[in-house]
Structure 1
Amino acid sequence: MDAKQAFRSIKQGSTAPIYVCYGTESYIMNEFIERLLEKLVEPEHREMAVVRFETGETPLDSIIEEAETLPFLVPSKIVLVRDSVLFASGKESSRVEHRPERLLAYMGQPSETTVLVFIVPHEKLDERKKLVKTAKSNDSVISFTPLQSEELLQWLLKRVSNQGRSMANQAAEELLRRVGTDMHALAAETDKLCLHAGIGGTVTTESVNALVPIATEQNVFRLTEELAALRTAEAITLYYDLLKQREEPIKLMALLVRQFRNMLYVKELGSQGYSPQQMASQLGLHPYAVKITGEQARKFSQERLASMLSELADLDYSMKTGRIEKALGLELFLLKTGSAGAS
């Protein structure tokens, strides 16, 4: 099932004895677990009713024994297990030995007083494993994938509304441009803006600009936008601001390389008929980042992007071997790129 279905089930009072939560959107996954705790455990009982393990440190036998043990002084308990060994598709090894058959047996007859939750912070599960197949057949698996760009926008607006404030789409879009797609950072900045707006107030674009600093990675997005629009002066001003913030030129160059490379990939995948969602999965990017990258990529030809990546590779070598001063080298690249344009 997906995250929306899982949240809906809890809201309707229905919980399962076992959950396997996986995906890269840790904010929504943590929120789901919090809702589960609110539903099953009184706040004052959490110390006795919540048990945490990691499969990298604790044998599966001990975890199942805890799940099968009756809760002490509380009606039910939750066993939270962080896992990168049993269900994950990665190659991470465990320092302890596990017997998967023990969990398979438990899945067939889970405890009525325990909710067992496996937290798998990986994009995919290992579909070859019997544990994964059994969990899926029991409808115990929940995927937590990044929100689409429109969903992320609506999530921001809803978070503001839930706090008794309002926010225009334009202000929400500016917040995304400044912070990026990290939902933990977005939540913190949104709450700060709501506090500033006051009950019944409005979060405006002006308050976003005044109160929310631009993340370094988002500044690199802006740098590429300025270069594509031939606004060289603005690009250089932004670069100077980043240097004043003690950002390293080599780090900025690495971020530029990544962005230009992603733009080239998006352009190539788009020509092959890939959808934005498929591109996001292929490139390991958030759907919103794919949307912005695609908009920027349209302003450059594939040949120009390939040429800039080659120039940046040469610049990287020159900077690291001392042939050119780092800050000056990147500034000259920005001047040359801005004057040459995107074609």
Structure 2
Amino acid sequence: MDVKQAFRSIKTGQISPVYVCYGTESYVMNEFIERLLEQLVQPDHREMGVVRFDTAETPVDDIVDEAEMLPFLVPSKLILVRDQVLFASGKESARVEHRPERLLAYMAQPSETTVLVFMVPNEKLDERKKLVKNAKANDSAIAFSPLQAEELLQWLLKRATNQGRTMARPAAEELLRRVGSDMHALAAEADKLCLHAGTGGSVTLDAVTSLVPMATEQNVFKLTEELAALRTEAAIALYYDLLKQREEPIKLTALLVRQFRNMLYVKELGNQGYSQQQMAAQIGLHPYAVKITGEQARKFSQERLATLLSELADLDFAMKTGRVDKALGLELFLLKTSSRGAS
């Protein structure tokens, strides 16, 4: 079952007795759980109607016993289980003994008054396990993968609409550039902007630039853009702003190394015919970050990126051994790099 179908099913009251939610997009997974809560348990019944477990601490027998037990003073109950043992490839804790066959038997005849949800914070399930095969055969497994760049944009626009506001597309794009792809942070900033716009108002590009600060990693994205465009003055001004925010030069150097390395990876994988989604899985980045990194990588040759990485490694060593003042060393690197450009 895909995520959109799962949300639609909940909205229409078609709720499965067992769900296996897996993936790295915790924001959407938490939102799915919240929709289940709204449908199954009234707010003043949540203390009695919601039970939480962790398979690292609780044997599956206890979880199934709770699932089979009739709810107390409420019509139905929701059992939420954090798991990296039963459905993922994590090793079982020596302190907890699990009997997967007990859960398999329950999944064949689940309780009518219980909804059992396993939350697996892993990108993939262990396809070799009978529990996983059973969940997929019964259409109970839901993958919560990171949203694509366009999906994130549409999600931001819809979030504003749901609050009685409008958000211009350039404003949403700038919000993504400033905050990054973390949906928790995006939601907080979007809600703040909607509050500022007022009922019936519009979230504008000017509002985003004036009210939303650049995250450190996004500032490093911007810094590499300024270096590639030979905008030395802008690059140094941005660096000084980061120093005023008490960002450590060694940390900034590490972020630059990561960004230039990712650009080199994207460039090499692009030459091999990889799609953005495949690159994201290979490198371990969000698809939106791959898109932005790819745009920056086009401005640099592979040879130039390799040279910059070597120079940053030398700078990092000099900083950590006290051979150069940290702030001055990074400033000199930025000055030299921006004067040479990307080629």
Which TM-score bucket, shorter chain as reference?
over 0.9
Aligned residue for 2:63, secondary structure, equals: helix
1:261-282 per-residue CA deviation (whole Å, 9 max, x = no partner) reads: 0000000000000001111111
Instruction: Tell me if 1:110 matches 2:110.
Output: yes
Question: How far apart, in 2, do the equivalents of 1:208 and 1:91 lie?
Answer: 45
Question: Could you list the runs of 5+ residues in structure 2 that have no partner in the other structure?
Answer: none
Sort the Cα spacing of 1:9 and 1:183 in 2 relative to 1 into closer, same or farther, 3 A: same
Q: Which residue of 2 aligns with 1:133?
A: 133
**Aligned partners of 1:17 and 1:114 also within 8 Å:** yes
CA contact 1:236–1:331 (8 Å) conserved in 2: yes
Q: State whether residues 10 and 35 of structure 1, in contact with CA within 8 Å, keep that contact through their aligned partners in structure 2.
A: yes
Q: Which residue of structure 1 aligns with residue 46 of structure 2?
A: 46
- Residue 21 of structure 1 contacts residue 29 of structure 1 at CA under 8 Å; is this kept in 2? yes
Greater shift in the superposed pair: 93-102 or 307-316: 93-102
Match of 1:327 in 2: 327
User: Deviations 1:200-222 (Å, cap 9, x if unpaired)?
Assistant: 11111111111111100000000
Structure-to-structure mapping, 1:30-45, within 5 angstroms: 30-45=30-45
- The offset of 1:94, in angstroms, is 5.5
* Aligned twin of 1:278: 278
The alignment of Structure 1 onto Structure 2 pairs a total of residues equal to 343
Root mean square deviation of aligned Cα: 0.9
Aligned-residue offset at 1:90: 3.8
Amino acid at match of 2:268: E
Could you report, residue by residue, the CA deviation over 1:220-248 in whole angstroms, capped at 9, with x for unpaired residues?
A: 00000000111111111100100000000
Aligned partners of 1:290, 1:9: CA distance in 2, in Å?
A: 32
CA distance in 2, matches of 1:106, 1:308: 57
Residue in structure 2 matched with residue 224 of structure 1 by the alignment: 224
Letter in 2 for 1:281: A
Q: For the structure 1 residues 269 and 93, does the alpha-carbon distance in structure 2 shift closer, same or farther, using more than 3 Å as the test?
A: farther
- CA distance, structure 1, for counterparts of residue 234 and residue 139 of structure 2: 53
Give the gaps of 5 or more residues in structure 1.
none
Equivalent residue, structure 2, for 1:244: 244
User: Contact conserved, 1:85 with 1:94, CA < 8 A, in 2?
Assistant: no
- The letter for the 1-side match of 2:5 is Q
Q: Which residue of 1 aligns with 2:193?
A: 193
CA shift for structure 1 position 93: 3.8
Distance in 2 separating the partners of 1:300 and 1:248: 26
Indicate if the aligned counterparts of 1:81 and 1:119 stay in contact, CA closer than 8 A.
yes
Which secondary structure state, in structure 1, belongs to the residue aligned with residue 20 of structure 2?
Answer: strand
Taking structure 1 as reference, are residues 18 and 217 closer, same or farther at Cα in structure 2, changes over 3 Å only? same
Separation of aligned partners in 2, 1:235 and 1:90? 44
* 1:40-59 deviation line (CA, Å, top 9, x unaligned): 11111111000000111111
Residue by residue over 1:276-318, the C-alpha shift from the partner in whole angstroms, topping out at 9 and shown as x without a partner, is 1111111111111010000000000001001101111111111
Question: 1:118-165 deviations in whole A, cap 9, x for unaligned?
Answer: 000111111111111111111110000011100000000000011111
Q: Percent identity?
A: 82
Q: Secondary structure at the match of 1:53?
A: strand
**How much has 1:87 moved relative to structure 2?**
1.1
1:95, distance to aligned residue in structure 2 (A)? 3.1
Contact 1:84 1:120 in 2 (8 A): yes
CA deviation map 1:18-68 (0-9, x unaligned) = 000000000000000000111111111111000000111111111110000
By how many angstroms is 1:89 displaced?
A: 2.8
Deviation at 1:85, TM superposition (A): 1.2
SS of 1:115's partner is: strand
- Residue 10 of structure 1 aligns with which residue? 10
1:65 correspondence with 2:81 = no
Sort the Cα spacing of 1:90 and 1:265 in 2 relative to 1 into closer, same or farther, 3 A: farther
Aligned to 1:28: 28
Paired residue secondary structure (2:98): coil
Amino acid at match of 1:200: G
1:131–1:189 Cα change, 3 Å: same
C-alpha displacement at 1:91, in angstroms? 4.3
Q: What is the aligned partner in structure 2 of residue 264 from structure 1?
A: 264
Alpha carbons of structure 1 residues 270 and 107: separation in structure 2 relative to 1, 3 Å? same
Q: SS at the partner of 2:146? A: coil
- Structure 2 CA distance for partners of 1:58 and 1:22, relative to 1, 3 Å: same
User: C-alpha distance in 1, partners of 2:133/2:119?
Assistant: 17
* Secondary structure of 1:74 counterpart: coil
CA contact (8 A) 1:87 1:132 kept: yes
Distance 2:90 2:235 in 1: 40
